[in-house]
Chain A
Amino acid sequence: MGRAGAWRPGWGVVCVLTGLAEGQTVDFNRDVRPIFSDKCFTCHGPDSANRKTPLRFDAEAAAKQDLGGRFAIVNGQPAKSELIRRVTATNTALRMPPGYAGAAALTEREIAVLRRWIEQGAPWKQHWAFVAPRRPPQPKIAASEWPRNPIDHFVLARLEREGYKPAPEAPPETLIRRVTLDLTGLPPTPAEIDAFLQNGSGDAYEKVVDRLLASPRYGERMAARWLDAARYADTNGYQTDAERFMWRWRDWVIEAFNRNLPFDQFTIDQIAGDLVGTATLEQRIATGFNRNHRGNGEGGIVPEEYLVEYSADRVETMSTVWLGLTMGCARCHDHKYDPVTQKEFYRLFAYFNNIAERGRYFKYGNTPPMIPAPTRVEQAELSALEQKLEAAAKAFHELEGEFAGAQESWEQAMAAKTPLDWSISRGLVAPIAGGGAGVFDGKRAVELGQAADFGFHDKFTLSARIYPAAPAGAVVTKTQPVAEGGGYGLYLSDGKLQVNLVVRWLDDALRVETERPLELGRWHHVLATYDGSLVADGIRIYVDGAPRKIRVLLDELNQNFRVNEPLRIGAGGGPENLFRGRIEEVRIWRGVLTPEQGAVAAVSETITGIAARPPGRRTAAERDKLRSAFLEEFGPPRLREAWSRLRDLREQHARMVAAIPTVMVMEEAPEKRDAFVLVRGAYDRPGEKVTPGTPSVLPPLPPDAVNNRLALAKWLVAPSNPLTARVAVNRFWQMYFGSGLVRTVEDFGSQGEWPSHPELLDWLATEFMRQGWDVKALQKTIVTSATYRQSSRVTVELLEKDPENRLLARGVRLRLPAETVRDQALAISGLLVEKIGGRSVKPYQPAGLWKELSGGEDYKQDHGENLYRRSLYTFWKRTSAPPMMMNFDAASRETCVVRETRTNTPLQALNLMNDTTYLEAARRLGERMMIEGGRTPGDRIGFAFRLATAREPGPAERRLLVEGYHFHLDRYQTDREAARKLISQGESARNESLDAGELAACAAIASLILNLDETIMKQ
């Protein structure tokens, strides 16, 4: 099927347009290598494992070698070349590709190409993409008045060679709409269109381009495609597919485009921003690129398997995005088509597998390594708060001086009075009576109801004073009443103090205990803190006020351990855990007590008792307790006020820090993890050990480079690298023209497509580097070219000859990208909220989509302005991506996707006609028609039509729309209920002053305009 009927489209154009005329020169790279690659390499190519003979067609010497008196290729002599004999053999036992194995014969054309090439002396060239681009001279052209910049020389040269003329320039309305959509992803406003139409000066268009490049919307538009390549999403991608937080990375990308970060720096920051000498916060955030892959938190996975998966994904993504190579093909065996060995795949892998990460990701939230990544606003707020803190501390210390002797007098006064005590009460959630708990005999337990309802992201502290009579038993718990049941608890086990946080025992649980056992038969104060981090490292245990060394028994917590069970004292986790001995003074705080507070909490002496002793005979903890009691409760009001202000600010600061968004980043582990060739790609079959290194077909790393990720990043953007600049400009080209000059934007290898304009590609690549990888300058060069500015009207003749516009004899006509379809509707209806960045938002989506897949939580739609943000901010759940985006061919964000595809389906029609998003936009556009669009239906329709298409409707169009309007108006004026229903779509307030029937008719026409082919196309 595919193979037999395969038709290479690039070829199609070349064939149709150039034919294989008598005497025509065959180009090895353009014409011959693709045949070898597609038809022969599987067995006679770079993959050593699959080669059964020494004959191979990926290297000249091997292809022309002596095969025992026979030669596959004899320069200049097709008749003597075994290759020709074999591909033309009628006997299927002899015929190549092997007829006996079911492969189809070469086509007559392909055979003719091979024959001609051998006749011409069989000249061999290295695959073009592996040779660094050299700036080509501008070709000579006849129509020298047409070009506006060098791009046009290359395009025109080919057109003239093939006997074509470029199309005239598109009308100004078309042009400004096209370039505005291309550079900002939004349509031009009528004012912008008018300004352009009225500006008769020669540089009017260039001025528009400059304005658009300076618009903050530009960065958002550019970022959208980069997010596809980087497989950015808001969820982890496997199974439960819960939320993660990478939006700080997304915002970095937007900002990088907006401040025109040069592409080489853009590359280095994302691949190795953490390794540059003085990595800024921004550079560290940038490395999130390599953490955007999916992360598996499913119970029962083998972590090593997924560690391999993540690093392999990084190699594959980097190869696709920067090198245009399908490196993933070399994961299990040598590449079948390109000169990349399996070992070279794992040498690249070795750059990425040295991250201090877990194979099993957290199901919920981010997984280390991650950093707090405050936004600029948060950074400002934090530093303002820190200034306040400093002032408060200063004020407090000054007062301390003023009240230097006050505490001593208070102590003396207190010692003379009735005994008094004090304990830490801030954050106390379970005020359990001091002596209430009492004696436990292995049968009794105390249940305390719903108090202390903590989950896995909560910070909390558990403490009690215990007198253990037996080495095992529960101290304080909130767990299911079975062994190893779900919940949290503080236990005694083998005499050791143990903390258990359990969802499912063994694979979703955390258990740590003190290294040494407690002494039985005496009183101890025990205290444990958990900081909400899901990891064993977030737990501290104190015995008698002193921190104890901890042993980690299980560190696999993943989900929420919150259970609907009472808080229990002396029991939990089944009957075998009933406590024997005494438990007193159970205290539970929300929040983590500091080590000093932990020590204070353990002090059993009352403050009166401590005060009674001379200062020299008090422990540090006792001194702290007195001091705390004084400042919190008993000191002079002015001092207490200053203290409480300082304390409140500290707490506020801690809360602010805790609320700072985090982002997952790349961070080298202190100890190197070895990398191996994995036999057949299997994680559990390590072969030869490998060191980091780059593929030998590409230029080497500089000899003096420290061989790490940073060296790799710099190597990607080194001027000698033949691929990166070409691949990057080609992808930008695709953004404007719908397909790249090399249409296989993801594959520049020998299976990739021959460029439609090889010299133009090389000129753009070298120009890009010459201008210091200036991305905005590159965009400007492209969109100001005469090539870009052509009209997209097409003649029957041209459509027959060049249906896919590979020659660029006309402008492009393409459906808008998914996010632009929606953003445009929001923009022209006036709903769009232009705000950059922030946490992802949840606009309208049909109810139940999440729930029917998982049975769990459903999509919770936002309200207010979050409904109207640009689509690149829409929450992206990988396993249930926004349907509106998917209907319009958005990339799924599960793996790296760089090729743009467009289909044309009935589901798109239904989406545009019936989705609340577009119905609300239609209603709001209807309101704008009535308020801003003039008095007559014709004017109003013209107004809306122009908002959507940038042009006035023609007379026939206007007539049709006006008649349609009257049809709807008649209906809605008689059926007020229908009118009311149509204009009730969406949550934004309706303008009640407008007549419902008229508004409904306007909304119906507005909806029609939003559904026009022209509206969702750029042309």
Chain B
Amino acid sequence: MDPRLEHRLLVSRRHFFGRSSFGIGTAVLATLLRDDIEGAVTTMPVTHFRPRAKRVIYLFQSGAPSQLELFDYKPRMNELRGTELPDSIRQGQRLTGMTATQTSFPVVGTMFRFAQHGQSGAWVSELMPHLARAADELCFIKSMHTEAINHDPAVTFFQTGAQIAGRPSIGAWLSYGLGSENSDLPAFVVMISQGSGNPADQPLYDRLWGSGFLPSRYQGVKFRSVGDPVLYLTDPPGLGGKARRRFLDDLAGLNQMQLESFGDPEIATRIAQYEMAYRMQASVPELTDLSKEPERIFERYGPDSRRPGSFAANCILARRMAERGVRFIQLFHRGWDQHNKLPKQIPGQCRDTDQPSAALIGDLKDRGLLEDTLVVWGGEFGRTVYCQGRLAEDDYGRDHHPRCFTIWMAGGGVKGGVTHGETDEFSYNITRDPVHVHDLHATILDCLGVDHTRLTFKYQGRHFRLTDVHGKVVRPVLT
């Protein structure tokens, strides 16, 4: 049974049978699920086939990391440095308004060294030494491509399968489809960290973890590093502890009287939700309290991990959430938009993310969680091989490039030590096995045992799905 449904029924049963003389029937249960009915879908199986993974940790790299500096090794670009990008490669491809008026498009190779790593011999940049050592756990997709060319629509596309606002995010879809494994925590959690490479970088938007037209309970809950970890979580000074408990008991008592008098099952749900809120007041601080993590964990995730709100600290939290059954855990790390000063900025971004990402994989593995946790790492598009702005000896920039970029996945359901897809020697066009954003979505859902064509929600007369009418599961990368 859908754990989400089960939970709600359990909660309601307790209140109906334990505290109320009011009878219960199937229609009442249907009403308890009234929000779900809003879009005309009620009962759903948990999965369509055997899941490989139970949960996802998505390490979103916002701003679009350069594939050329990190994973897509193109040695010939250093030989061609400063020469014009050939028309045969560019193929009249549209450019952003930032470089469309540029008169010259000089090719620039990376300034950073690459080497092969692991049994798989994957090429990884010197900027990512820890991930390099974990190369055999990683499944690189070098042939990602997208349709959007600017950040806002592109991140929105990655998160919701559409460039325009208004659709549910992937986490909301999964929260709706699969529910939570933990009745004291939300199914979909989001954490944000600022990049040290480029602090004034692209912003994020609440819609990225919104529920779109799905009921708002499926939206991602943002866990914050300042103030309350979840908004309004903490009792006000002077009304906590025993006073809060008494408050909740009295509230439940009064609501119960109202339930008996009015018969509206919505009141029973309200009572249950206040209890859930109370449990969250304990479960969330317990989750976010890293003080009991042993020293070696902080060493493993790197020095940043002691700083609340850092990507590294969020990675430890992600592992703790995975342990507690949160379904979709999404980290957003900002700062990857290197239009200029790339050589200066990108090492900082890599320092932020390299060690913690590798540590997360290792940590999950040590705990036996990697096999059913899918980890995804990547941004919203790639970057151009040609230089944006002035090409100097020690300085260059790269513009947005939706035609090809690299992401990697690890864990639950995907093969480690594998590279899928290929780009041309300019890392400009895909030459083998293109993977569209819709395909990635279909693949992630597949890992969770969900057929992307069957996870639907009716809205405005249409059965919407995350992948719209597209999406092909990338079978070769799956175990």
* Chain A residues with a Cβ under 8 A of chain B: 1-9, 37, 102, 237-241, 294, 296, 298-303, 309, 326, 328-329, 336-338, 360, 504, 506-507, 556, 684, 744, 746-747, 749-752, 792-796, 799-801, 803-804, 813, 815, 846-848, 852-856, 878-881, 883, 886-887, 889, 892, 894-895, 899, 901-911, 913-915, 919, 954, 956-957, 960-961, 964, 967-968, 971-972, 977-983, 985, 1000, 1004, 1007-1008, 1011-1014, 1017, 1019
- Residues in chain B near residue A337, CB distance under 8 A: 461-462
Q: Are A793 and B262 in contact (CB under 8 A)?
A: yes
CB distance from B447 to the nearest CB of A (A): 16
Asked if B454 is at the interface (CB within 8 A of a chain A CB), the reply is: yes
B229-269 Cβ-contact flags toward A at 8 Å (1 or 0)? 01111111111001110110011011101100111111101
Among B42, B207, B236, B262, contact of A914 (Cβ-Cβ < 8 Å)? B236
**Complexed CA–CA distance, A1017 and B259 (Å):** 13
- Residues in chain A near residue B344, CB distance under 8 A: none
Q: Are A895 and B166 in contact (CB under 8 A)?
A: yes
- Residues in chain B near residue A800, CB distance under 8 A: 25-28
Q: Are A329 and B462 in contact (CB under 8 A)?
A: yes
Asked if B210 is at the interface (CB within 8 A of a chain A CB), the reply is: yes
- Residues in chain A near residue B451, CB distance under 8 A: 1
**Complexed CA–CA distance, A980 and B44 (Å):** 50
Q: Are B463 and A910 in contact (CB under 8 A)?
A: no
Q: Are B232 and A915 in contact (CB under 8 A)?
A: yes
Chain A residue at smallest Cβ distance from B451: A1
Interface size bracket, B side: 35 or more
Report 29 cross-chain contacts, Cβ distance below 8 Å, ordered by A residue.
A3-B454, A4-B454, A6-B40, A6-B41, A7-B42, A328-B460, A507-B97, A556-B97, A749-B461, A794-B263, A799-B31, A800-B27, A804-B31, A813-B266, A848-B227, A852-B224, A879-B203, A879-B207, A899-B38, A901-B35, A909-B273, A913-B232, A914-B236, A960-B250, A964-B246, A982-B238, A1008-B254, A1014-B255, A1014-B258
Asked if B216 is at the interface (CB within 8 A of a chain A CB), the reply is: yes
B25-68 Cβ-contact flags toward A at 8 Å (1 or 0)? 11110110011011011111100100000000000000000000
Q: Are A905 and B273 in contact (CB under 8 A)?
A: yes
Chain B residue at smallest Cβ distance from A239: B152
Q: Are A894 and B37 in contact (CB under 8 A)?
A: no
Among B207, B238, B273, contact of A980 (Cβ-Cβ < 8 Å)? B238
* With A2-B455, A1019-B262: A300-B238 Cβ-Cβ less than 8 Å: no
Q: Are B255 and A744 in contact (CB under 8 A)?
A: no
CB distance from A850 to the nearest CB of B (A): 9
Q: Are A855 and B199 in contact (CB under 8 A)?
A: yes
- Residues in chain B near residue A302, CB distance under 8 A: 94, 96-97, 149
Q: Are A799 and B263 in contact (CB under 8 A)?
A: yes
Q: Are B455 and A902 in contact (CB under 8 A)?
A: no
Q: Across chains A and B, which 4 residue pairs bring their CB atoms closest together, nearest first?
A: A751-B461, A2-B456, A982-B238, A300-B96
* With A300-B96, A846-B227, A901-B216: A241-B205 Cβ-Cβ less than 8 Å: yes
Among A2, A752, A803, contact of B31 (Cβ-Cβ < 8 Å)? A803
Q: Are B231 and A894 in contact (CB under 8 A)?
A: no
Among A326, A803, A853, contact of B28 (Cβ-Cβ < 8 Å)? A803
Interface-central residue, A240, A899, A914, by most chain B CB under 10 Å: A914
Asked if B151 is at the interface (CB within 8 A of a chain A CB), the reply is: yes
- Residues in chain B near residue A972, CB distance under 8 A: 238
Q: Are A856 and B203 in contact (CB under 8 A)?
A: yes
Given contacts A504-B98, A855-B334, 14 further A-B pairs with CB under 8 A are: A1-B177, A239-B152, A506-B98, A846-B232, A852-B224, A879-B206, A881-B206, A901-B215, A905-B273, A906-B274, A914-B228, A919-B236, A981-B238, A1007-B239
**Complexed CA–CA distance, A5 and B454 (Å):** 10
Q: Are A803 and B27 in contact (CB under 8 A)?
A: yes
Q: Are B257 and A956 in contact (CB under 8 A)?
A: yes
Q: Are A299 and B273 in contact (CB under 8 A)?
A: no
Among B192, B231, B247, B400, contact of A907 (Cβ-Cβ < 8 Å)? B231
* With A747-B460, A853-B192: A102-B28 Cβ-Cβ less than 8 Å: no
Asked if B306 is at the interface (CB within 8 A of a chain A CB), the reply is: no
Chain A residue at smallest Cβ distance from B340: A504
CB distance from A306 to the nearest CB of B (A): 10
Asked if B280 is at the interface (CB within 8 A of a chain A CB), the reply is: yes
**Complexed CA–CA distance, A902 and B238 (Å):** 32
Q: Are B463 and A904 in contact (CB under 8 A)?
A: no
Interface-central residue, A37, A506, A752, A909, by most chain B CB under 10 Å: A909
Chain A residue at smallest Cβ distance from B36: A903
B192-234 Cβ-contact flags toward A at 8 Å (1 or 0)? 1010000111111111001000011101010010111011111
Q: Are A911 and B232 in contact (CB under 8 A)?
A: yes
Asked if B150 is at the interface (CB within 8 A of a chain A CB), the reply is: yes
**Complexed CA–CA distance, A794 and B31 (Å):** 13
Q: Are A913 and B253 in contact (CB under 8 A)?
A: no
Q: Are B461 and A914 in contact (CB under 8 A)?
A: no
* With A5-B44, A300-B97: A1012-B461 Cβ-Cβ less than 8 Å: no
Q: Are A239 and B202 in contact (CB under 8 A)?
A: yes
**Complexed CA–CA distance, A803 and B36 (Å):** 14
* Chain B residues with a Cβ under 8 A of chain A: 22-23, 25-28, 30-31, 34-35, 37-38, 40-45, 48, 94, 96-99, 101-102, 149-152, 164-166, 177, 192, 194, 199-207, 210, 215-217, 219, 221, 224, 226-228, 230-239, 242-244, 246-247, 250-251, 253-255, 257-258, 261-267, 269-271, 273-274, 276-277, 280-281, 334, 399-400, 450-451, 453-458, 460-463, 465
**Complexed CA–CA distance, A985 and B239 (Å):** 12
Q: Are B262 and A880 in contact (CB under 8 A)?
A: no
Chain B residue at smallest Cβ distance from A752: B461
Q: Are B280 and A910 in contact (CB under 8 A)?
A: yes
- Residues in chain A near residue B454, CB distance under 8 A: 1-4, 102
Among A4, A801, A853, A985, contact of B236 (Cβ-Cβ < 8 Å)? A985
**Complexed CA–CA distance, A793 and B258 (Å):** 10
Q: Are A1008 and B34 in contact (CB under 8 A)?
A: no
Q: Are A793 and B261 in contact (CB under 8 A)?
A: yes
- Residues in chain B near residue A1017, CB distance under 8 A: 266
* With A914-B235, A1011-B251, A1012-B254: A813-B165 Cβ-Cβ less than 8 Å: no
* With A855-B199, A907-B232: A326-B460 Cβ-Cβ less than 8 Å: yes
Q: Are B206 and A880 in contact (CB under 8 A)?
A: yes
Q: Are A6 and B273 in contact (CB under 8 A)?
A: no
Interface-central residue, B48, B216, B246, B269, by most chain A CB under 10 Å: B216
**Complexed CA–CA distance, A887 and B210 (Å):** 11
* With A981-B237, A1004-B243: A894-B166 Cβ-Cβ less than 8 Å: yes
CB distance from B310 to the nearest CB of A (A): 13
Q: Are B34 and A804 in contact (CB under 8 A)?
A: yes
Q: Are A895 and B232 in contact (CB under 8 A)?
A: no
Q: Are A880 and B458 in contact (CB under 8 A)?
A: no
Among B38, B271, B455, B465, contact of A901 (Cβ-Cβ < 8 Å)? B38
CB distance from A468 to the nearest CB of B (A): 27
Q: Are B22 and A907 in contact (CB under 8 A)?
A: no
**Complexed CA–CA distance, A296 and B234 (Å):** 37
CB distance from A809 to the nearest CB of B (A): 13
CB distance from B20 to the nearest CB of A (A): 12
- Residues in chain B near residue A852, CB distance under 8 A: 192, 194, 224, 226
**Complexed CA–CA distance, A957 and B239 (Å):** 21
**Complexed CA–CA distance, A335 and B215 (Å):** 26
CB distance from A994 to the nearest CB of B (A): 15
**Complexed CA–CA distance, A6 and B243 (Å):** 46
Chain B residue at smallest Cβ distance from A16: B27
**Complexed CA–CA distance, A960 and B177 (Å):** 41
* With A904-B35, A909-B277, A914-B236: A853-B204 Cβ-Cβ less than 8 Å: yes
Q: Are B216 and A855 in contact (CB under 8 A)?
A: no
Chain B residue at smallest Cβ distance from A795: B263
Among A300, A338, A846, A853, contact of B203 (Cβ-Cβ < 8 Å)? A853
Q: Are A326 and B236 in contact (CB under 8 A)?
A: no
Q: Are B262 and A813 in contact (CB under 8 A)?
A: yes
**Complexed CA–CA distance, A914 and B463 (Å):** 38
Q: Are B238 and A1 in contact (CB under 8 A)?
A: no
Chain A residue at smallest Cβ distance from B218: A903
Chain A residue at smallest Cβ distance from B236: A919
